[in-house]
A and B are shown apart, each in its own frame.
Chain A
């Protein structure tokens, strides 16, 4: 259930089944641990939960939280494409222009995702997030480059978000639904990228690209990202955790509609 988040109380062990799950900045924690090798595990118990931002709407916890998180992302994408279709870039496209065909489809797909998730939430007796108010003031809907750049951001973010959220789903039915949607988002992202810059459908900003060593057994080669440091493995999409995604997404949401995902950091 979506609730307005409050300043977090100090960690209460009794109601935190995973007391050390959230509070520690994951990557920095081990750097810290390595640098202070004299510390003991007792330090762990002293870590307090970090403050979540005040005034954000938290997506909630568990499968319901992830479904509402997805619903939020789809609301934003659907609102974006709806606005694209009223903007001067789109309206100037001729009736047989491929970009008109593409944006018509994108607008329909994202609206379907939004409406489906709302219906699925209600069918599961989960209160859907409110209707979010977007803030697209940084996007020039008369300008092709501005529209395509924003579309790429939304689509790439959607892919990274679904991939990073899958692990938090308990229900296989919900995981299957996320899988059905995320590949469509990836199809969108790849096409928008090809429209902007042909053959950029996978690039190192979204995928840990890999270079196969010529003449060696398949799988022998070099990845663009180093092993470790939270990086995905070779040839993999660079998935992102919900809180990371929402920090970026909040740039496109109005005050009062900004989101947090304090259960999924």
Chain B
């Protein structure tokens, strides 16, 4: 049997084959585990489990824990996608200088959906459609505190960008919370894809925060990058989370619907290597209190330097404010 010819033929039949198996890792690792030397006689056996590895890492054959993490991520991507996509169609809501950014972000979320569906295949949730969501934050009532975030007019930008910041911070914390579940030998490629989505969410979030600083200073477009962050950072935030951002963006009615986005998850405390989910104001990492002598950093500085994960249950509780119960999402 000609091993290379076979690979070449398979690739011709399925151009994505080599990507599916991620040859850089899977084949060499697999061959390495198979024996000290690959002999011609061993090739059929090698190939047999090789194909299992190539296709066994996607869809319904994934461990249920992995499917759950990825479907939660996918649900959040849909939540974000339809929010930005809807906003782009609302008259006067997105300033022309900011429109390219919102289109880019909407498209990135579409790319994330593409990625996640490609991994989950038949195990993916169905596209919930825009009507599954209640962006007012009213859990399906339509009259939640953020009801004006998708209404026409520049006056509603603050509500829109505040919600956008909260959504993407929630998504980031969810990916962080899910990453350890993906950290198995068979799912390292999925882990890397998730990390590569996670950092893009962080870039989006940084930009939303920059836009919000601009709004606070009545500056749109490039001018926003020249606007100062203003303590306590709920209205004019830094591009990173400082302490808990004073419970996050205020809604037009003055409430703080994003409070749990920046708060602690469950469990909130623990000891490494146990998994726990402190609030964004956390200043202790791996048991090291980074505000303690001999270090001289402030709690705000330390909190800004680290983002925190959130557990799936807490993420779902937050997200349920933004879906109709009939959607079946985030249960």
Interface, chain A (partner B; CB < 8 A): 13, 17-21, 24, 26-27, 29-30, 33-34, 36-42, 44-45, 96, 98-99, 101-102, 105, 108-109, 111-113, 115-116, 119-120, 123, 159, 162-164, 166-167, 169-173, 175-177, 179-191, 194-195, 198-199, 201-202, 207-212, 217-221, 223, 227-228, 230, 232-239
Contacts and interface: CB of A to CB of B under 8 A. Distances in A.
Interface of B: 2-5, 7-8, 11, 15-16, 18-19, 23-25, 28-29, 31-33, 36-40, 42-43, 46, 78, 81-82, 85, 97-98, 100-101, 104-115, 117-118, 127, 172, 175-176, 179-180, 183, 188-189, 191-193, 195-207, 209-210, 213, 221-222, 224-229, 238-240, 272-273, 275, 285-288, 290, 295, 297, 301-302, 304-309
B8 A37 contact: yes
Nearest to A17: B32
A29 B180 CA distance: 31
B41 to A, nearest CB: 10
B286 A109 contact: no
B104 A202 contact: yes
Contacts of A17: 32
A186 B207 CA distance: 11
A223 B114 CA distance: 10
Contacts of A208: 111
Q: Which of A26, A41, A45, A182 has the most CB of B within 10 A?
A: A41
Contacts of A108: 297, 301, 304-305
B305 to A, nearest CB: 4
A54 to B, nearest CB: 25
A211 B78 CA distance: 16
Nearest to B205: A187
Given A44-B31, A235-B108, A13 B199 contact: no
A201 B240 contact: no
Contact of A166 (B36, B195, B206): B195
B16 A227 contact: yes
A236 B2 CA distance: 36
A147 to B, nearest CB: 15
B117 A219 contact: yes
Nearest to A170: B183
A113 B308 CA distance: 14
A212 B104 CA distance: 9
Q: Which of A20, A185, A191, A201 has the most CB of B within 10 A?
A: A201
A227 B16 CA distance: 7
Given A33-B7, A34-B11, A37-B4, A98 B183 contact: no
Contacts of B239: 102, 187-188, 190-191
Given A41-B43, A212-B107, A228-B16, A183 B288 contact: no
Given A199-B100, A218-B109, A45 B37 contact: yes
A186 B206 contact: yes
A119 B4 contact: no
Contacts of B7: 30, 33-34
Given A163-B192, A199-B101, A239-B192, A218 B288 contact: no
A172 B114 contact: no
B202 A18 contact: no
Given A202-B203, A227-B16, A219 B110 contact: yes
A3 to B, nearest CB: 23
A26 B288 CA distance: 39
A21 B114 contact: no
B203 A177 contact: no
A120 B206 CA distance: 27
Given A37-B2, A40-B3, A180-B308, A163 B206 contact: no
A256 B238 CA distance: 38
B275 A105 contact: no
Contacts of A99: 226
B310 to A, nearest CB: 12
B202 A183 contact: yes
Q: Which of B11, B111, B209 has the most CB of A within 10 A?
A: B111
Nearest to A229: B19
Given A105-B301, A173-B286, A232-B193, A180 B225 contact: no
A146 to B, nearest CB: 18
Contacts of B206: 186-191, 194, 201
Given A44-B31, A112-B302, A202-B104, A105 B238 contact: yes
A179 B111 contact: no
Contacts of B290: 112, 115-116
A69 B37 CA distance: 32
Q: Which of B19, B175, B196, B309 has the most CB of A within 10 A?
A: B196
A19 B33 CA distance: 9
A237 B88 CA distance: 24
Given A202-B104, A233-B115, A237-B196, A218 B240 contact: no
A111 B10 CA distance: 50
19 contacts: A37-B5, A44-B31, A123-B286, A163-B199, A167-B188, A173-B273, A176-B275, A179-B175, A180-B285, A184-B305, A189-B206, A190-B239, A194-B224, A199-B98, A202-B200, A209-B104, A210-B107, A232-B192, A234-B115
